[in-house]
Amino acid sequence: VRLTIDLVSTAHPKLRYAPDRVRLSARRIPAGMKAGSLVMGYARLLPPTGPVRPESYDFSFDSYFSGIGGSGFFLGDPKVIPPTDPIAQTSIASAIENARENIADHIRSTVGGPEGEIAAALIVGVRAGIPEDINEAMRRTGIYHIISISGLHMALVAGTVMLLLRGAFALFPDFSSRRPVKKYAATIALMSIAAYLVISGVVVAAERSFIMLAVMLIAVLFDRAALTMRNLAISAIAVILVSPHEVVGPSFQMSFAATAALVGAYAGWSDYRAGKVRAPPDKRSVLRFMSHKLAVGAGGAAMTSIIAGSATALFAIWHFQRVSPLSLLANLAIMPIVTIVMFLAVASAVMMPFG
């Protein structure tokens, strides 16, 4: 296991310029260890590693911006030591991390097996327990992104919350006809994805996706179109201000490339439909109506995968030196399932305090 540790002190030898944070490997997690615990042990400490070959990924670049000044491994098992002041040692970050671990343990004990590990990854972003063969299978088929909390999950959470709230408001027509219920739903959806961001560990991809969706939901509050290139540009500027080093990373490049392509395609299709003279709909049976809607939905999902996949293919080849030829079919097959799973995940997260 790999542990990220904030150094309190060093000895044997005492480092004159000790790094503030290091990442160390250990054979096992010590009993009773949790986020915020004090640990002690002998370790071999090295500078952050650079690229393994020319022009490849530079690990020290990410370590620098993550505040990690060294890496290495423990010489033996680290020991947990009791803090002198437990209240002073408790921080908001460690409390959130412990809450994430408790939720993940609850999910694992309830679901069990690899399915429980995947459920924990989808809800709280804890992916360490997923078997490596499953990880590799998802990488080869191009669907690994479904367990990395990012724009897809944020959008599904926000969409689920807005859909449920709009449906609930529709049950009270007198109230919904006199109040801006769409703005109410957007406000609660914004708070929901903020909570999801915190409980998922505030990873970079989730943080960037939150900023993008927050800009779009705020646009709804001010009666502006949500899916526009202007909002995408505002999101990009906000991400650059918060994490400027992410510009050269695959996560930033692929997500904004896919979003820009989808927004552009959506705008083009909307303009095409607006200028097209449509005949009045003919009378159709319920079966034909449902078949038409199903075909439109499947076609839209296929075009979404094609557009997003085409926009990100070059970035994937450059950064990861791999391409998934069957990713289109795999994503078409998995996306309806992921949508249902995330809908149920939102419901389970709401009901979790009740057992």
Which of 76, 111, 141 is the endpoint of a domain? Answer: 141
- Residue 234's closest CA among 214, 261, 252? 214
105-129: pLDDT as tens digits: 888 888 878 888 888 888 888 887 7
Residue 300 lies in a domain: no
Pairing relation of β-strands 21-25 and 79-81? unpaired
Q: How far is CA 244 from the centre of its chain?
A: 19
Residue 188: per-residue pLDDT: 92
Within 112-145, where are the H helices?
Answer: 113-124, 132-141
The secondary structure element, H or E, covering residue 290 is helix 286-320
Which one is predicted more confidently, 276 or 48?
Answer: 48
Specify which of 94-103, 181-190, 200-209 reaches the highest per-range mean pLDDT.
181-190
- Whether the link from the prior residue into 13 is cis, omega within 30° of 0, is yes
Within this chain, do residues 267 and 215 fall inside the same structural domain, yes or no? Answer: yes
Q: How many CB atoms lie within 10 A of CB 232?
A: 19
Residue 187 lies in a domain: yes
Within this chain, do residues 77 and 117 fall inside the same structural domain, yes or no? Answer: no
Instruction: Kindly indicate the confidence band of residue 325, based on its pLDDT and cuts at 50, 70 and 90.
Output: confident
Cβ(310)–Cβ(261) under 8 Å? yes
Within this chain, do residues 129 and 176 fall inside the same structural domain, yes or no? Answer: no
Q: How many CB atoms lie within 10 A of CB 274?
A: 7
Residue 227 lies in a domain: yes
Residue 42 lies in a domain: yes
Residue 329 lies in a domain: yes
Residue 116 lies in a domain: yes
Residue 279 lies in a domain: yes
Which one is predicted more confidently, 275 or 173?
Answer: 173
Residue 299 lies in a domain: no
Distance from C-alpha of 150 to C-alpha of 2, rounded to nearest angstrom: 23
Cβ(163)–Cβ(169) under 8 Å? no
Pairing relation of β-strands 70-74 and 43-46? antiparallel
Within this chain, do residues 150 and 245 fall inside the same structural domain, yes or no? Answer: yes
Within this chain, do residues 348 and 210 fall inside the same structural domain, yes or no? Answer: yes
Within this chain, do residues 209 and 250 fall inside the same structural domain, yes or no? Answer: yes
Residue 120: per-residue pLDDT: 85
155-187: pLDDT as tens digits: 888 888 888 898 899 888 888 888 889 999 999
Cβ(213)–Cβ(158) under 8 Å? yes
Domain total in the chain: 3
Residue 191: per-residue pLDDT: 92
Residue 28: per-residue pLDDT: 81
Within this chain, do residues 235 and 337 fall inside the same structural domain, yes or no? Answer: yes
Which of 87, 105, 121 is the endpoint of a domain? Answer: 87
Within this chain, do residues 130 and 260 fall inside the same structural domain, yes or no? Answer: no
Q: Which domain holds residue 208?
A: 145-292+308-354
Within this chain, do residues 106 and 82 fall inside the same structural domain, yes or no? Answer: no
Query: Residue 311: CB partners within 8 Å, gap ≥ 6?
Result: 257, 258, 260, 261, 262
Within this chain, do residues 183 and 324 fall inside the same structural domain, yes or no? Answer: yes
Which of 87, 117, 132 is the endpoint of a domain? Answer: 87
Cβ(8)–Cβ(38) under 8 Å? yes
Residue 146: per-residue pLDDT: 79
Q: What percent of the chain has pLDDT over 90?
A: 2
Instruction: Kindly indicate the confidence band of residue 283, based on its pLDDT and cuts at 50, 70 and 90.
Output: low
Within this chain, do residues 74 and 199 fall inside the same structural domain, yes or no? Answer: no
DSSP conformation letters of 192-228:
HHHHHHHHTT--HHHHHHHHHHHHHHHHHHTT--SS-
Which one is predicted more confidently, 21 or 57?
Answer: 21
- The three-class DSSP label of residue 27 is coil
Residue 90: per-residue pLDDT: 59
Within this chain, do residues 272 and 187 fall inside the same structural domain, yes or no? Answer: yes
| Entry pTM | 0.75
